[in-house]
Structure 1
Amino acid sequence: MVLRVGFVREHFSTPLLQFLDADQGKTFTLVECPSGTGQLIKRLDGTEEPQIDIAMQTCLALLYSALTDPLISGIANGSKAYKLCGSYVSTPLNWAVITGKDTKYQSIDDLKGTTIGISRLGSGSQTMAYVMALQNGWPTEELKFQINNDIRGLLDSVNDGSTSAFMWEWFTTKPFVDAGEGRFIGSVPTPWPSWLIAAHPSPDRAPVAAVQAFLSKLSEYVQAFEGAGPGRVEVVKAKFGYPEEDIQAWLKTVSYPQDCLAIPTKVITDTLRVLEKAGVVKAPASGFNVDDFVHKDVVRLT
């Protein structure tokens, strides 16, 4: 069986793309999801085509690697479309706060009470807006959002005035800021490791053996990338065309796991605690059960 792996074409996906180059589509294919984690989830649950089996945010179709927070909040809020099955990036994600090139907004403080652009409902861009509000003492129930689908829609919205700002990964948006299409007015790192991997729970979509084999091999590629030293700069530059200084700055901030088939229990519990404070999820009377979030036949909790 060839797994359909959803992903977002960002520098984080470099080891995955190296894996694809070697695999040549024998065991998996990639499905690009430019709108991010919200789109990954919709393609996992079958409400948007093409479907995927694994999500990585990077995204796997019937497997997918995606942002930690919307994956966990989706399950906490009742989604049965996927279970967590592994880890992809073990360091936090630095979310830039971007406004239009000529707007009045000069800092995060200026955004209180305004309309924030997001890619999709339930996306990382929305979850992190809640985290930003929580960190600044704003009432999360008063946040206002406008859905703009992708980076182009988000940039258009801050420049036409329909939104005040949006949040997206720093180095992904930097080329647009460098080109004068927007301005950075702050950043908010995630209070959790940035990427987990999720798979559809059906054995018809994502057979356990196939998922385990994929993640085991992916572990080899992320560790090879970790150990490649200065050579990593040229690899990322060839894949994405970013300036060398930006790649070097990013590489100082990112780390991948030793084993993609393991998830630290603390990642799930800490993320749920922050999401509950932000009002994104609500714990049942009995509290959250970590086992409800993971594909127990695939992943190892540590």
Structure 2
Amino acid sequence: MAPLRIGYVHEHFSSPLLQFADDDKGKTFTLTECPGGTGQLTAAISNDEIDVAIALTDALIAGIAKGTAQYNLVGSYVSSSLNWAVIVGKDSKYNSIADLRGTTIGISRPGSGSQTMASVMAMQQGWVDPATGAPEELSFKVNGDINGLIKSVNDGSTSAFMWEWFTTKPRLDAGEVRFIGSVPTPWPSWLIAAHPTRASPEALRHFVSSLTTYVRAFDPRTEIDTKVQFIKERFHQKEDDIKEWLKTVKYPKDCTAIDGKTLVNTLSILEKAGVVIRPKEGFNIETFVNQSVVRLLPDDKPFSF
């Protein structure tokens, strides 16, 4: 059987996955880096470039809610929120999130976390039509990866973009950009998705259950020094930044389970932000997951709303 093709973003969150890959040595899976984030990951699944994507919760759920048949959910990865920095150019005239209303926001790809979170930010800021209460339509410009996004805010073609705080902080320290705020996700930040037929349930279960071992071993509350050293070597981040991030991140005790309430709550927020539209018959949460691979918690309760 061919190894699973796993798509991921090369960020500090991927540390347990990379430790697993070091031990596996390509026997059961190979890694494909997707610097364009979740939008690139979901496109890679659609294009038969990868079988599995470790990607952002909101964008994965939104894609399924919009009708994609290219993937469903097969596991959990990070249970804490993702802190998105709101980022402008180094000489930008924008100094607060409120200044961004009515401007063009940079995103990596359509359907990406950077686009979803811009809509959530707008909702939180109250950028809505006063007559209908519906979110204002935002203007987006696709700029690919982090380098394209930074270029866009510095050449003025976009006002701002959003990216994970600690991933982007080295660019802040280097004086390439400024941070004018942050927006944490109101949901656990990372899930695992897979094409519904390209890999066997047995192979997917083996990958997700084995990943659980590495996630548990990476528990930030234990042996901090070894984790700091690993992240320094792989991601070249400052030790103080790594230690601050480790204070905030949490991984699930079991990657082979997804809490149905996470899906319900995320969909509710995405609906309010105008990212997804609830069908007339409502959402059936059970259709979002591959239950031959992952357990939907609680086991005895269907989730529909």
TM-score range, shorter chain: over 0.9
Report which stretch shifted further, 266-275 or 226-235.
226-235
Match of 1:103 in 2: 92
Q: Deviations over 1:188-230 (max 9, x none)?
A: 000000000001000xx21100000011110000100114333
Does 2:52 match 1:54? yes
State the alpha-carbon separation in 1 of the partners of residues 277 and 141 from structure 2. 23
Q: Which residue of 1 aligns with 2:276?
A: 281
| Counterpart AA for 2:52 | I
What letter corresponds to residue 77 of structure 1 in structure 2?
K
Show the counterpart of 1:29: 30
Give the alignment's TM-score, normalised by structure 2. 0.93
Tell me the alpha carbon deviations over residues 48-94 of structure 1, each in whole angstroms, 9 at most, x when there is no partner: xx7100001xxxxxxxxx00001000000000000001000000000
The DSSP-based 3-state class of the residue aligned with 1:141 is coil
> Aligned with 2:218: secondary structure?
helix
Q: 1:165: which partner in 2? A: 160
AA partner of residue 9 (structure 1):
H
Alignment of 1:1-150 (within 5 A): 1=1, 2-46=3-47, 51-56=49-54, 66-139=55-128, 140-150=135-145
> Aligned partners of 2:141 and 2:223: how far apart in 1?
41
CA distance in 1, matches of 2:93, 2:45: 39
| SS of structure 2 residue aligned to 1:19 | helix
- Superimposed CA distance per residue, residues 103-142 of structure 1 (whole angstroms, 9 cap, x where no aligned partner): 1100101000000000000000000000000000003332
Number of aligned residues: 288
Unaligned runs of 5+ in 1: 57-65
How many angstroms apart in 1 are the aligned matches of 2:225 and 2:100? 39
> How much has 1:301 moved relative to structure 2?
1.0
Q: SS of 2:206's equivalent?
A: helix
> Counterpart of 1:264?
259
Q: For 2:98, what is the secondary structure of its paired residue?
A: helix
AA aligned to 2:50 is I
Paired residue type of 1:22:
D
CA distance in 2, matches of 1:23, 1:116: 40
Whole-Å separation in 2 of the counterparts to 1:264 and 1:229: 28
CA distance in 1, matches of 2:273, 2:72: 23
State, as a whole percentage, how many aligned pairs show the same letter.
64
The reply on whether 1:296 has 2:261 as its aligned counterpart is: no
1:150-199 deviations in Å (ceiling 9; x for gaps) = 10000000000000000000001000111011000000000000000001
Find the residue that maps to 2:171 and give its secondary structure: helix
Question: Gapped runs of 5+ residues in structure 2?
Answer: 129-134, 298-305
| Amino acid of the structure 1 residue aligned with 2:170 | P
Aligned equivalents of 1:229, 1:179: Cα separation in 2: 26
Of 176, 194, 203 in structure 2, the residue corresponding to residue 181 of structure 1 is 176
Q: What is the distance in 2 between the residues matched to 1:142 and 1:27?
A: 44
Q: CA RMSD in A?
A: 0.8
The one-letter code matched in structure 2 to 1:124 is G
2:200 aligned to 207, 215, 229, which one?
Answer: 207
Which AA in structure 1 matches 2:288?
F
> Which amino acid letter does the alignment assign opposite residue 55 of structure 1?
A
Alpha-carbon distance, 1:241 to partner: 1.1
SS at match of 1:252: helix
Instruction: Tell me which of 220, 229, 238 is aligned to 1:234.
Output: 229
TM-superposition CA deviations, 1:14-55 (whole Å, max 9, x none): 000000000000000000101000010011111xxx710000
Query: 1:51 is aligned with what amino acid?
Result: E
How far 1:300 moved relative to its partner? 0.4
CA distance in 2, matches of 1:6, 1:89: 16
Alignment partner of 1:230: what SS?
Answer: helix
In 1, Cα distance between the equivalents of 2:147 and 2:170?
12
Q: Could you tell me which residue of structure 1 aligns to residue 217 of structure 2?
A: 224
TM-score, normalised to structure 1's length? 0.94
- One-letter identity of the residue aligned with 1:241: H
